[in-house]
């Protein structure tokens, strides 16, 4: 009986976490380049129930009744890397990635990666993310990784992701990175992720004058929200029922 209570509670806790995941997706529904996450659940390992009521000779021996599952737990929260919708803009510093890959930006001494291509130009003339981290490129002459200088000039992006600046020609290639294992990525906030090791030579398709929206599906998330609520209700009902049964056992059967 008590066991059943804990089984229902494991459901409640897991559903709370799923509610957090879904709410976070909804909060980021208009966030450029955001990738939705999904919480996966798995059941506890089965346990074998046994008693010692079987008499063999003059001894009680262990008697297996069968397996029992004691509830549910959170398996993992996985990010789902499907393509977001493209939005056309009029800004030359707006970029979007079609397919796999990430932009690379400098955050202190580290490289961080993002799908949010809403870039700007800072007052020193370099391409930055909207929070001010320098966007990195590869110098087409020296192959060195460096911030991209644009200045006041107009520029365009060619098929090899080279940045062709009016009056200066091609100086840098927009640096992009891909990863072998998308599951190992760490989300560090501000639309950035980190992971190791980056593959800088991967073929990444970048588009200019376009932004990538989030891949959150409103219908899906709201349906999940309703499902969570009802699921939670069911679990909560079961706890109440079990409480009533314990109550009966304690107060009514116990009465002499």
Partner 1 sequence: MINVYSIAKSGMNAYQEKMDYIANDLANVSTTGYKSNDIGFKDLYTETLDRKGTPLYDKTAVNGTGVRTGMNYSKNIQGNLLNTGGQTEFAIDGEGYFAAYMGDGSIAYTRDGNFKVDANGTLVDSSGNKIVIQYADGVSEGNPELVSSKLSVNQNGEIFMKDEENTINIGRIPVFTAIGDKSFLPIGNSYFVPAEDAQIEESTDFDIIQGMLEGSNVDSTEAFTDMITSQRAFQMNSKALTVADDLWGMINSMR
Distance CA 117, CA 210 (A): 8
For the chain, the distance separating the N- and C-terminal CA atoms, rounded to the nearest angstrom, is: 22
CB count within 10 Å of CB 201 equals: 10
Stretch that binds partner 1, among 49-57, 118-126, 169-177, 200-208 (CB under 8 A): 118-126
Q: Cα(65)–Cα(56) distance, rounded to whole angstroms?
A: 16
**CA distance to 20, 35, 114, 128, 229, per residue, from 83 (Å):** 23, 8, 14, 23, 29
210 part of the interface to partner 1, by CB under 8 A: no
Nearest-CA neighbor of 99 among 203, 217, 213? 203
Near partner 1 by CB under 8 A: residue from 3, 4, 23, 254: 23
Is residue 32 a contact partner of residue 211, using CB atoms and an 8 Å limit? Answer: yes
Closest CA to 34 of 211, 213, 220: 213
Query: Rounded distance, CA 114 to CA 179, Å?
Result: 12
248 binds partner 1 (CB under 8 A): no
Which member of 4, 13, 140, 164 binds partner 1 (CB under 8 A)?
13
Return the number of the residue (54 or 151) whose C-beta is nearest partner 1.
151
Is 207 one of the binding residues for partner 1 (CB under 8 A)?
A: no
Q: Can you tell me which of 16, 51, 69, 156 binds partner 1, judged by CB under 8 A?
A: 16
The site map against partner 1 for 36-65 (x = CB under 8 A) is: -x-x--x-x---------------------
Q: Indicate the residue among 46 and 201 with the shorter CB distance to partner 1.
A: 46
Question: Can you tell me which residue has the tokens 């709410």?
Answer: 23
Question: Does residue 238 touch partner 1 according to CB under 8 A?
Answer: no
Q: Which stretch binds partner 1 (CB under 8 A): 61-69, 124-132, 156-164, 169-177?
A: 124-132
Tokens 């200045």 appear where?
151
Taking the complex as a whole, the smallest distance from the CB of residue 18 to partner 1 amounts, in Å, to 9
Size of the site for partner 1 (CB under 8 A): 66
- Both tokens assigned to 197: 């090791």
Q: Using DSSP, state whether 27 is helix, strand or coil.
A: helix
Among 48, 85, 188, 245, binds partner 1 (CB under 8 A): 188
The two structure tokens encoding residue 128: 């930055």
Query: Which one of residues 17, 164, 200, 207 is an interface residue with partner 1 (CB under 8 A)?
Result: 17
- Tell me whether strands 176-177 and 102-107 are parallel, antiparallel or unpaired: antiparallel
Token pair belonging to 37: 């996450």
Question: Which of 47, 64, 76, 249 is the binder for partner 1 (CB under 8 A)?
Answer: 76
Residue 27 vs 65, nearer CB to partner 1: 27
Q: Which residues bind partner 1 (CB under 8 A)?
A: 10, 12-17, 19-24, 26-32, 34, 37, 39, 42, 44, 71-77, 90-91, 93, 116, 118, 120-125, 130-132, 151-152, 187-191, 218, 221-222, 225-226, 228-229, 232-233, 236, 239-240, 243
């Amino acid at each position: 009986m008590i066991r059943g209570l804990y089984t229902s509670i494991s459901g409640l806790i897991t559903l709370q976490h799923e509610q957090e995941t879904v709410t976070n997706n909804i909060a980021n529904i208009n966030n450029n380049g955001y990738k939705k996450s999904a919480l996966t659940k798995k059941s506890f390992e089965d346990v074998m129930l046994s008693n010692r009521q079987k008499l063999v000779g003059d001894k009680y021996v262990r008697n297996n009744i069968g397996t029992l599952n004691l509830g549910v737990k959170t398996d993992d929260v996985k990010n789902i890397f499907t393509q977001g919708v493209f939005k056309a803009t009029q800004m030359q510093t707006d970029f979007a990635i079609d397919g796999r890959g990430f932009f690379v930006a400098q955050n202190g001494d580290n490289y961080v990666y993002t799908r949010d291509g809403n870039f700007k130009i800072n007052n020193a003339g370099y391409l930055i993310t909207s929070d001010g981290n320098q966007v990195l490129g590869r110098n087409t002459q020296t192959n060195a990784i460096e911030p991209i200088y644009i200045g006041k000039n107009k520029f365009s992006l060619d098929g090899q992701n080279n940045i062709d600046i009016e009056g200066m020609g091609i100086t840098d290639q927009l640096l992009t990175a891909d990863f072998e294992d998308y599951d190992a990525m760490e989300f560090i906030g501000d639309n950035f992720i980190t992971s190791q090791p980056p593959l800088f030579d991967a073929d990444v398709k970048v588009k200019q004058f376009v932004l990538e929206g989030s891949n959150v599906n409103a219908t899906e998330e709201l349906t999940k929200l309703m499902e969570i609520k009802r699921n939670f209700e069911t679990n909560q009902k079961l706890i109440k029922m079990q409480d009533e049964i314990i109550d009966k056992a304690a107060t009514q059967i116990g009465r002499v």
